[in-house]
């Protein structure tokens, strides 16, 4: 993710955030608790509070937030219904190294919403859930290797931290992008077990299974790439993956950490009608309270247990998160919340298109209205390599202006725009966002034209 260093528009004052940064960086690496929260020494924002679809920073600047904590905020920040439930959870007393009755209540709700979730185990984060899913697949199949899709992201554990190095890859070249670790500290030996395929390339998928299928424990896929422009897998691609996994005895793991309980009640797997062996959900499960889950086919899930795959954790099924999840999932299941937020996304996409079309700026969208990628090319990308060929400079520049104008989006075009129910219920949210987008687009056009003129001199 690129750190922004551009001049701040006059109306946004970040004096207190800047001072906080200078203090924090002495104690916290980069002054933050997650590297992606660092947006440059003079642009790192410290939040005072959030409510609904908005956040306020410590300088008092208000923002409409389309990052939504990378997705968990499905209803809105500080949702009264979920927070009241979390308070009831607090009265239970924390964690006990024993189980509570509510685990079954929430698991029953999940099984009702997600047909693949015959059995459920709770985790605290997406990383933990996917790590458990891969271990389960390995335990169940007795194999070690696994297949990843370019542009996918599955969390911060070593096995998942391999990616296609598209940034250093030449579009149109006959070579595949190199498989590289996300950062330092990831042992290269782990790479020997991983394989990587480009999304939506049916032939490559078949070839890979032909060569390695009998050694693979799992194929991991995000059918909507929540960390990569919300690139969509084609339904035929996911069906082929299902079929190849069946033929080769490989566990299909659909990672719905971002898409789950967001794009539909049953996730992207429900919309595509593909049933994985194992699936992972996190973010939207508890509207931001830390809870995740690994779920799947009964026969596979029974491999968790004595003599099988290890799973547990001190904080799993914490009473507060579990109570929040019970209420959040009830709302998502029983009310039109998901339609409300998708409707807001559709209106926003239409509005952005009106602005861009009026200026002749070619663009397209990928993903789903509840989490969409805005892409500056005529057709949306169907794999990660296509992102490289689009004009992401325009996006990155525009994102910086949007922050100054009170709209929070990720400063990197690979992160989708997220919607929450509160956006759809907030009467002025749409018009405010579109007014800011219009201004940001014009400022971007001006800035890039000025850069071109300077370059031509």
**Residues that bind ligand PMP in the complex, under the rule CB under 6 A:** 70, 125-127, 130, 153-156, 222, 226-227, 255, 257-258, 282
Please give the backbone phi and psi of residue 251, each rounded to the nearest 5 degrees, phi first: -80, 125
Structure tokens at 37: 């929260």
- DSSP secondary-structure letter at 56? E
CA dist 417 → 212, 352, 358, 362, 444 (Å): 36, 12, 22, 18, 19
Q: How far separated are the first and last CA of the chain, in Å rounded?
A: 30
Structure tokens at 271: 């919309």
Closest approach, Cβ 360 to ligand PMP, in A, equals 34
Nearer to ligand PMP, 345 or 416 (CB): 416
Closest approach, Cβ 222 to ligand PMP, in A, equals 5
Closest approach, Cβ 72 to ligand PMP, in A, equals 8
- DSSP secondary-structure letter at 257? T
User: Which residue's beta carbon is nearest to the bound ligand PMP?
Assistant: 126
Closest approach, Cβ 128 to ligand PMP, in A, equals 7
Closest approach, Cβ 155 to ligand PMP, in A, equals 4
Q: From CA 162, how far away is CA 143, in angstroms rounded?
A: 19
Nearer to ligand PMP, 258 or 403 (CB): 258
Closest approach, Cβ 401 to ligand PMP, in A, equals 25
Q: From CA 369, how far away is CA 366, in angstroms rounded?
A: 9
Nearer to ligand PMP, 89 or 226 (CB): 226
Please give the backbone phi and psi of residue 219, each rounded to the nearest 5 degrees, phi first: -115, 125
CA dihedral 397, 402, 70, 42 (to 10 degrees): 80
Nearer to ligand PMP, 154 or 265 (CB): 154
Nearer to ligand PMP, 281 or 394 (CB): 281
Structure tokens at 336: 């039109």
Q: From CA 78, how far away is CA 139, in angstroms rounded?
A: 40
Nearer to ligand PMP, 252 or 437 (CB): 252
């Amino acid at each position: 993710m690129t750190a922004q260093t551009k001049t701040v528009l006059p109306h946004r004052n970040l004096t207190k955030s800047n001072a906080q940064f200078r203090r924090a960086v002495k104690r916290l690496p980069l002054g933050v608790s997650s590297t992606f929260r660092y947006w440059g020494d003079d642009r790192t924002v410290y939040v005072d509070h959030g409510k609904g679809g908005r956040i306020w920073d410590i300088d008092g600047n208000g923002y409409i937030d389309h990052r939504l904590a990378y997705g968990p905020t499905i209803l809105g920040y500080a949702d009264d219904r979920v927070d009241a439930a979390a308070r009831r959870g607090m009265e239970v007393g924390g964690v006990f190294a024993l189980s509570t009755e509510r685990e079954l209540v929430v698991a029953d709700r999940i099984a009702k919403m997600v047909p693949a979730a015959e059995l459920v185990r709770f985790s605290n984060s997406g990383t933990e859930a996917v790590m458990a899913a891969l271990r389960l697949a390995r335990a169940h199949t007795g194999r070690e290797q696994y297949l990843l899709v370019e542009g996918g992201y599955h969390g911060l554990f070593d096995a998942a931290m391999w990616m296609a190095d598209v940034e250093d890859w030449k579009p149109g070249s006959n070579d595949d992008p190199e498989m590289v670790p996300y950062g330092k500290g990831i042992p290269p030996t782990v790479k020997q077990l991983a394989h990587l395929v480009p999304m939506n390339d049916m032939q490559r998928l078949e070839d890979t299974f032909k060569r390695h299928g009998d050694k693979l424990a799992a194929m991991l896929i995000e059918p909507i790439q929540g960390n990569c422009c919300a690139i969509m897998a084609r339904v035929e691609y996911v069906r082929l993956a299902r079929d190849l996994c069946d033929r080769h005895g490989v566990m299909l793991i659909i990672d719905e950490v971002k898409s789950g309980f967001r794009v539909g009640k049953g996730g992207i797997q429900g919309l595509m009608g593909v049933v994985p062996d194992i699936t992972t959900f996190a973010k939207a499960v508890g509207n931001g309270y830390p809870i995740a889950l690994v779920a799947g086919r009964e026969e596979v899930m029974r491999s968790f247990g004595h003599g099988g795959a290890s799973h547990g954790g001190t904080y799993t099924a914490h009473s507060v998160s579990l109570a929040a999840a019970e209420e959040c999932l009830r709302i998502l299941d029983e009310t039109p919340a998901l339609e409300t937020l998708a409707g807001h996304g559709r209106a926003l996409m239409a509005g952005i298109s009106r602005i861009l079309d009026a200026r002749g700026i070619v663009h397209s969208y990928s993903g789903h209205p509840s989490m969409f990628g805005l892409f500056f090319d005529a057709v949306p990308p169907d794999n990660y390599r296509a992102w490289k060929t689009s004009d992401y400079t325009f996006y990155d520049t525009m994102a910086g202006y949007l922050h100054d104008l009170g709209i929070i989006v990720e400063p990197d075009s690979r992160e989708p725009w997220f919607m929450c129910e509160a956006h759809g219920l907030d009467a002025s949210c749409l018009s405010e966002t579109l007014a800011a987008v219009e201004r940001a687009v014009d400022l971007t056009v001006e800035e890039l034209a000025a850069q071109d003129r300077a370059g031509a001199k």
